[in-house]
Amino acid sequence: MEDQTKYLLNESDIPHFWYNINADSPVAPAPVFNPQTKQPITPADLLALFPMGLIEQEVSQERYIPIPEEVLEVYKLWRPTPLIRARRLEQALHTPAHIYFKYEGVSPSGSHKSNTAVPQAYFNKIAGTKAMTTETGAGQWGSALAMACQFYGLDLEVYMVRVSYDQKPYRRYLMETYGASVFASPSDQTSFGRKLLAEDPSNPGSLGIAISDAVEQAAISKGAKKYGLGSVLHHVLIHQSVIGEEALKQMDLAGEYPDVVIGCVGGGSNFAGIAFPFLRENLKSGQRARLLAVEPTATPSLTKGIYSYDFGDSAGMAPIVKMYTLGHDFMPPSIHAGGLRYHGMAPTLSALYDAGLIEAISVPQTRVFAAAVQFARCEGILPAPESAHAILAAMDEAEQARKTGEKKVILFNLSGHGHFDLTAYNRYLSGDMEDYSYPDNEGKEISRHLPFMPEPAL
């Protein structure tokens, strides 16, 4: 076992249940509000966007939610994913630490996003949905949902953040190959998009704007189309729990337990996917793994945002949720942090961070790409820029272990490959990449842009 590098499970080891952290969390979920009425949202309000099967998961307090057999059959295309010990990286770092990564890039669409795309398409299909709309940033989510919709015979419209639409045409080609229609966002297909383009024809877009485009198209369809979201919402985080559940079994095969579990964060889904099952073990079984979320300095919602109620999109059409936010009108710089450019953070994850149950740091993109290149040269896998944030944090943890001589066990989620990100790698390798940090003084202005603060319950 000492020389083993890959820890593989069988198809029979695929989790048959999704894990819901709300069943064990000491933090009660905050109410969600209707953006039009400013009243607590009801399942009926959400039916305009989501099928009832997903709404029930969104509000569930059940610890384990059964995975339908039809979804498990599709999961078998790539699950269980491998757990790999990065021995060559350990040697290059001269560290006594043991570094493991859970590799989600083996999914057909190239990332962890397929873990939720398949069940979202499935629950829409059985509810009678014929078509879906969605947004995508770097294109990982759009690719995953395009694949899943093709599997279940659903049409799909994808609104892709314009800067990524231009920087990553091959992601668009993949989505179109799967059968999706892809539009740059802000889009001339929607009234909100046309308004923004009239104000600024070169608007680079944001995830918040792309969400508005997709939500508007679903809302005006009067039920003909439903909306799918690739992160942030609780049912998405639930679906991603298969990552951590498998990783627990694989760390047992390795005969070790992580001292720290690391994931990048944009909306929070891949971090929650690997971290929440380990948080359960902290809460229920006395384990003490640190859970570390890593975000870009350009969009540091956890480390520089405020914890408050905000719209989930730029136009104010999506539900109002309590989360760490930079403000729904935040416009991220055109950096190469991939999908890690959302203005807010998953409400569930935000509440746990506010309670001190997880940690968060922000890192600059030039260091992220330096870590990605070193990882690729050691381990042979080209990581997505998003995932490379977690790689950098893992390397920093390993470097600290080298200095102290601590035999630390590090686990991170390698959430996707970077084969469609070579333009960004070329910019880094040619020295044409700069860092950007969210200004400290801008944080003082966030509260002026928030929709409202509900009165505390008496």
Number of domains in the chain: 2
- The two three-digit tokens of residue 44, written as one number: 């009926």
Q: Does residue 437 lie in a domain region?
A: yes
Q: What is the pTM of this model?
A: 0.95
Tell me what pLDDT residue 310 has. Answer: 94
- Residue 453 is predicted with a pLDDT of 59
Same domain, 288 and 413: yes
Q: Please indicate, yes or no, whether residues 182 and 97 belong to a single structural domain of this protein.
A: no
End-to-end CA distance of the chain: 58
Q: What is the DSSP string of 284-314?
A: HH----EEEEEEETTS-HHHHSEEEEEESSS
Residue 449 placed within a domain = no
Counted residue by residue, the chain has a size of 458
Same domain, 74 and 128: no
Q: Domain residues for 335?
A: 6-14+68-110+241-444
Q: Taking the CA atoms of the chain, what radius of gyration do you get in angstroms?
A: 20
Task: Estimate the crossing angle of helix 140-151 against helix 169-177, to 10 degrees.
Answer: 10
Among the candidates 212, 234, 256, a domain finishes at 234
Residue 353 lies in a domain: yes
Q: What are the per-10-residue average pLDDT scores of the chain (458 residues)?
A: 84 98 95 90 91 96 98 98 98 98 97 98 97 93 98 97 88 96 95 95 89 93 93 97 98 98 96 98 97 96 95 89 93 67 94 98 96 98 96 98 97 96 93 90 79 57
Are residues 121 and 106 part of one domain?
Answer: no
Judge if 204 and 96 occupy the same domain: no
**Same-domain check for residues 299 and 438:** yes
Question: Do residues 196 and 166 both lie within one domain?
Answer: yes
How many other C-beta atoms are found inside a 10 Å radius of the C-beta of residue 88? Answer: 15
Establish if 454 belongs to a structural domain: no
Domain boundary, last residue among 234, 257, 287: 234
The 10 Å Cβ neighbour count of residue 222 is 8
Rounded Cα–Cα distance for residues 7 and 81 (Å): 9
Q: State whether 262 and 205 are in the same domain.
A: no
Same domain flag for 126 and 191:
yes
CATH of the domain at 308: 3.40.50.1100
Residue 451 falls within a domain, yes or no? Answer: no
How far is Cα 294 from Cα 292, in angstroms, rounded to an integer? 7
Q: Residue 390 corresponds to which tokens in the numbers above?
A: 């977690």
* pLDDT at residue 263, as a whole number: 98
DSSP letter, residue 27: S
Both 222 and 281 in a single domain? Answer: no
The answer to whether residues 307 and 413 belong to one domain is yes
- Distance in angstroms (rounded) separating the CA atoms of residues 4 and 2: 6
Domain assignment present for 1: no
Residue 455 lies in a domain: no
Sign of the C-alpha dihedral, residues 68, 71, 73, 76?
negative
Tokens of 324: 């760490």
The contacts of residue 128 (CB under 8 Å, 6+ apart) are none
Alpha-carbon distance of 303 to 359, in angstroms, equals 9
Give residue 338's pLDDT.
58
Distance CA 438, CA 332 (A): 9
Is there a domain that residue 40 lies in? yes
The residue with tokens 């380990």 is 278
At residue 397, the pLDDT reads: 98
Instruction: Give the closest residue to 58 by CA, choosing from 31, 80, 81.
Output: 31
Same domain, yes or no, for 307 and 226? no
Q: Which of 214, 234, 254 is the last residue of a domain?
A: 234
